[in-house]
Each structure stands twice: as C-alpha cells, then as structure tokens.
Chain A
C-alpha cells in the first residue's frame, strides 16, 4: 500500500469548509439545546405533576431513540410538515437529542444543591422562582460543568451523523472526497485528527472556565 498524503493539502479547502460547517452546526445545536435542557431539567424537579410527567416523557423518549433514527425521523417525518431542509433538520435533531441529556444533567445538578440553600433563600423572602434563579441554578451550574462539557464534546462527535440526511459537514465532505480521490486511509485519518483537535480544544476552554469559576470558592 502506497500512501499519498498530498491529497490532504490539495483539498485543504474541502476540510476547512467541512470543519467550519461541523462547528457551526454543533454550536447552533448547543445554543438551542441549553435552554431546552434547562427548561426540561427544571420540569423534572417541578412540584407540578403534569409538568414533571411531560419532562420525563421527553427525556425518556429521546434517550431511548438512537440519534441516527431521530435524525431520519425529524428530516423525513417532520420534514413533511415543516420546511426544515437538511441543515436546520440536522441542527434541530442534534439539539433535541442533546437537550434530553442536558435536562438530566441539570436535574442532578439542582438536586445536588443542599436543601438548606433553598430554605435560606425562601426565608429571606425570595419566591421559589427567584431562589431558583439567583441561588440554586448558579450553584447547580458550577456542579454540572464537567458533565456538560462531556455532553458538548459528544455533540460535536455526534454531528458527524448529519451526513446521512445530506447536511454538509466535515464527514460528508470527507465522504465525497474519498469517492473522487479513492484516498480513504489518508482522508479518514486526517478527519479523525480534525475532530480530535476540535473536541480537545473545547475541553481545554471549558477546563479553563471551570478553574476560574471554582477558584473563588476554594
């Protein structure tokens, strides 16, 4: 087997374009997934039974369906009724998928805050909502940073699946390049490296913020 690595620099624009699309899809999906996760995470600890039930159904259903199937389902089924396109179909599917996991992370974060914190906030005249916003969630957020970081990294990796609904990303660009250049070993090796660079950079950024946040209370 003779390797020809020149396929990489010759097609650098294809990789860069794909990497940018992957980052774009992942970032937009995260931005949508966070509010979904917080809302449903709060729903999971709500005093209202119906809200709790709705949140539980969302979490359990989404966790129980493979992302690949969810992508297909949103693209082909919801696509019948809404003009989604492969780009927004991919972003929404990723967001809905990650949202369920973030909801669980948020729930455990809230439940890990000692009960006395809510009592202290309430005894100072804060409403339940104010106590959640100003006292509980800031503490829950600090606790869930590490699992949240894992979730974001997972989402970048999962985004490679969007190529199945023909959303342009790094993986789809690589597939097309392999189809024309027949250099599968070189291309996929380089693609793996790009994914690793993206996820590892994110890891480092989050670790930095985590340290800064926790330093003050140490």
Chain B
C-alpha cells in the first residue's frame, strides 16, 4: 500500500533522511520509533508530501506522491494525516471541522457531509460535541475530532505523527483507543509514537530509526525482547527502564 524507495532528504548539509526504504502492506500497522532527531516525523511527512524529498520514490496505492505529474491534492484524499498539535480549525465547530473538506473538496452536499461527520464523531465518542469549538474541547477530544476529520475523506491510509505527545497523560488512552479501533478495522497505518506499550500491542512491525536511517525493522515481540542492533538496545534500555 505504501512503498518508500531509497528516499534521501537533507536540510543544507544536514542529512535528515538517508536512503530510506520501507514497504507497508495493506492493513498493516507500522510504528516508527527512535530518538528525537531521528527523522521519524520528517519521514512520515514525506508520505503525503507535506515535506519534499531530494530523491527516491514514494508511492501510495500505486500513485507516485512526489512525481510532478501527480495531482497531489487528489493523491492526498487517500492519505489521512493526524498531527501532534491537532491543527483543528479554531473558527469552526467540531462538526464543521469534519465536514468542510468533504464539502469543499469532494463536493458533498451539506446533508451528506453532516450525516457522515456525525457518524464519525459518534463512533469516536464525541456525539455530544458537534457544535463545540476546539477551544472548548480537551486535548484528547480535539485529537479525536482531528482523527474524525481525516477519516471523513475516506482515506485508505492513515498517518499519525506523534498523536499523543501533546496530550495530558490521562487523555492518551482515549486517543490510542481510537487508533486501536482503526487497526482492528484493517486500516493501513504508520504511527510515529513514543508509546512503546501501544506500539507493541497493535503494530505489525516496528521500524526503528536513528540519525536519518532505518536501523532495524522487526516484529514487535522480537524488537522489544531481543533487538538485533546495539543502537536499538541502547534506545530501549533508556525508554523502558524508568
């Protein structure tokens, strides 16, 4: 579903992604983990071309994302993206946040967009928040609205860039539950996360990055109990022993 081939990217002299290749089959969930500055966020942002690449190729559902001939607006309809800082539209209600793109981009009628939007918000436990503005919602609620907003475009792929990092601890669970549910429904997902327990539980594969490179790829059980590389062992000993 997602195919990343030999992607390189640098900011000036600083190499943020070095020869990164990764395949994510349909319905698989991949966690990107690693120390900060490893290039995880940059990598996930290249998958929907929020971040340009220097060379290499990324395809999603067979469509080459960084090809100049590709209509990127159309390609992005297939790729939901959830940000660390939610990025909800503050002047729109929760429901309007979810319906604006289906209406303005897909040309859905207000009725159709609202019907679908309400279904999504209800399924994410936000049935009583249709008319609430983002400033009136908790972080966890805002992030669930952001997930509903992305799902409203009916994407085949969902990308999560540290979806729980900006949340108070007690709100992490509700957002992880929402992602867990998507995994169960067979959504193809890439998640940048620091929630190791969560990664272990729902992911099909762990991709460990450091210094702009993929250092290790493994099944969760293997990775968390017996990683091959010293770099991954060092990282795990730091994040798991506290």
A142 touches B (CB below 8 Å):
yes
A19-58 contacts to B, CB under 8 A, are none
Asked if B77 CB lies within 8 Å of chain A CBs, one says yes
Given contacts A119-B83, A134-B104, A216-B133, contact A125 B91 (CB under 8 A): no
A127–B81 contact, CB under 8 A?
no
Residues of chain B within 8 A (CB-CB) of A135 are 89, 100
Of residues 77 to 118 in B, which have CB atoms within 8 Å of A's CB atoms?
A: 77, 79-81, 83, 85, 87-91, 100-101, 104-106
Instruction: Give the chain A neighbours of B135 by CB distance below 8 A.
Output: 217-218
A166 CB-CB contact with B under 8 Å? no
The answer to whether A123 touches B73 (Cβ under 8 A) is no
Known contacts A117-B89, A124-B150, A216-B91; decide if A130 and B105 are in contact (CB<8 Å): yes
Nearest Cβ on chain B to A160's Cβ, whole angstroms: 37
Q: Are B90 and A126 in contact (CB under 8 A)?
A: no
A154 at the interface (CB under 8 A from B): no
Interface bracket on B = 20 to 34
Q: Are B105 and A119 in contact (CB under 8 A)?
A: no
Residues of A within 8 A of B105 (CB): 124-126, 130
On whether A124 and B83 interact (CB within 8 A), knowing A119-B50, A139-B90, A216-B133, the answer reads: no
**CA A125 – CA B135 in complex, angstroms?**
24
When the two chains form their complex, are residues A120 and B76 in contact, meaning their CB atoms are under 8 A apart?
no
Q: Does A122 contact B (CB under 8 A)?
A: yes
A126 in contact with B104 given A116-B83, A120-B83, A217-B91 (CB within 8 Å): yes
| Docked-complex contact A139 and B83, CB < 8 angstroms | no
Q: Are A120 and B89 interface neighbours, CB within 8 A?
A: yes
Task: Please state if A124 and B101 are interface contacts (CB–CB under 8 Å).
Answer: yes
Structural contact, A125 and B77, CB atoms closer than 8 A? yes
- By the criterion CB–CB under 8 Å, are A120 and B87 in contact? yes
The docked-state distance in angstroms from the alpha carbon of A123 to that of B150 is 8
Q: Mark A110-137, 1 if CB is under 8 A from B, else 0.
A: 0000101101111111110010001100
> Interface centre among B50, B87, B133, by most A CB within 10 Å?
B87
Q: Are A124 and B91 in contact (CB under 8 A)?
A: no
**Contact in complex: B87, A124 (CB < 8 Å):** no
Q: Of all chain A residues, which has the CB nearest B76?
A: A125
In the complex, chain A residues whose CB is within 8 Å of the CB of B101: 121, 124-126
Does A138 interact with chain B (Cβ within 8 Å)? Answer: yes
* B136 CB → nearest A CB, Å: 9
B133 lies within 8 A of A123 (CB)? no
Q: Which residues of B contact A116 (CB under 8 A)?
A: 83, 85, 87
Q: Is the CB of B74 within 8 A of A125?
A: yes
A192 to B55 Cα, complex, angstroms: 67
How far is it, in angstroms, between the C-alpha of A126 and the C-alpha of B133 when the chains are bound?
A: 21
Q: Which residues of B contact A114 (CB under 8 A)?
A: 87
Q: Is B48 an interface residue (CB 8 A)?
A: yes
Q: How far is the CB of A114 from chain B (nearest CB, A)?
A: 8
Interface centre among A116, A117, A120, A125 (most CB of B within 10 A): A125
Smallest Cβ distance from B27 to chain A, in angstroms?
22
A-B contact pairs, 8 of them (CB 8 A): A123-B48, A124-B105, A125-B73, A125-B77, A125-B106, A139-B89, A139-B90, A218-B135
Q: Which residues of A contact B (CB under 8 A)?
A: 114, 116-117, 119-127, 130, 134-135, 138-139, 142, 216-218
Closest A-B pairs by Cβ, 10 of them: A120-B87, A116-B87, A124-B101, A123-B81, A125-B77, A125-B76, A125-B105, A127-B73, A217-B133, A125-B73
